[in-house]
Amino acid sequence: MHGCDLLVVGSANADLVVGVDRRPEPGETVLGSDLAVHAGGKGANQAVAAARLGARTALLARVGDDPHGRLLLGSLESAGVDTAGVLTGDAPTGVALITVDPSGDNSIVVSPGANARLTPDDVRDAGELLAAARVVSLQLEIPPATVAAAVRAAAEAGTRVVLNPSPPAPVPGDVLAACDPLVVNEHEARFLLRGHAAAGEGSASEASTPEASTPEASTPEASTPEDWAAALLDRGPRSVVVTLGPEGALVARPEGTVRVPSLSVDPVDTTGAGDAFTGALAWRLGAGDDLEAAVRFAVRVGAAAVTRPGAQESFPTESEVAEVVRALAEGGTCEPSGHPDDVSGPAGGERR
């Protein structure tokens, strides 16, 4: 009996956001807008996105015993996320420092804080939570050894693993081999294909050595998403999903690839869209959808998310996704209702 549809193992950050007319050059100071503080972090974002859609979702993470930690717990609980696995203390809550320009592009620096203290021992202590989940979703804003421990525990329990290797970092071969799917954007795909991961090679610590991640490593000739996906499949994951921003996504399995188009919307804020996509994808896989069907749903969720400002504040419910689809079909506005118009937040091409 599964206790939850989705367990997210990952980060929880407070996003500190400043709008700028343009992002500063090295050594330059620019003035910005008033500071806005939002609940964020790739792990918390995915958990909130799935819960808003109706998934029974839990999060395994660490936050500090401080105002930012309380902000995150409140946001998670209000979305319906089970926070029994959110551990408190030991370090300040992680923080993301985000600047946003008028075009919607962002630059992000993350101070991991408590996220860096989520350990393999925490994963072992959460064994029942892992075993009770249909799907476990992970990212790389927590220590590599913790990610590896969670993936291996999930694999031993027969739980499906979804991994988004963001921010890009080397991934051990046995972790890649458990991914179904590995979810990457262009930047993450190219990083992994520069020799930073190979099926069956290395431990978590070995995969993270500086020698393994030198920028001089050769860039592959692959130049299309289909090329990237095929090359990544050769590294060991059971399936690969390449996100293509406004163009949708590519689904790749050993039997072939298929492109899934996105909805045509006018983006307001792309921050968190990638996390909304991955959270939706992981939930639908746990609900029994095949990979292509799950991706078709996830691209609609990601498209709906970019029509509103903020990260977690922008994540739609299932009915709001249907509202966006219906509005576009009728040629009307694509902005779903149900959220305040005065929520300010980041926008950006990185799509946290």
Residue 180 has φ and ψ, to the nearest 5°, of: -150, 70
> How many angstroms separate the CA atoms of 57 and 51, rounded?
6
Q: Which of 101, 275, 289, 341 is catalytic?
A: 275
Instruction: Confirm whether 275 is a catalytic residue.
Output: yes
Which residues touch 242 (CB under 8 Å, ≥6 apart)? 184, 185, 186, 189, 225, 228, 229, 249, 250, 252
Closest CA to 206 of 174, 230, 235: 174
> How many angstroms separate the CA atoms of 295 and 280, rounded?
8
Task: Find the helix or strand (DSSP H, E) in which 9 lies.
Answer: strand 4-9
> How many angstroms separate the CA atoms of 95 and 110, rounded?
6
Could you tell me the two tokens for 272?
């968190």
Report in angstroms the alpha-carbon separations of 116 from 144, 167, 185, 325.
Answer: 10, 14, 24, 39
> How many angstroms separate the CA atoms of 183 and 274, rounded?
10
**How many residues does the structure list for the chain?**
352
Report in angstroms the alpha-carbon separations of 67 from 74, 88, 94.
Answer: 10, 12, 11
Question: The tokens 């499906």 sit on which residue?
Answer: 160
Closest CA to 175 of 204, 196, 195, 206: 204
Which residues touch 69 (CB under 8 Å, ≥6 apart)? 12, 63, 88, 93, 114
> How many angstroms separate the CA atoms of 350 and 167, rounded?
10
Known catalytic residues are 275
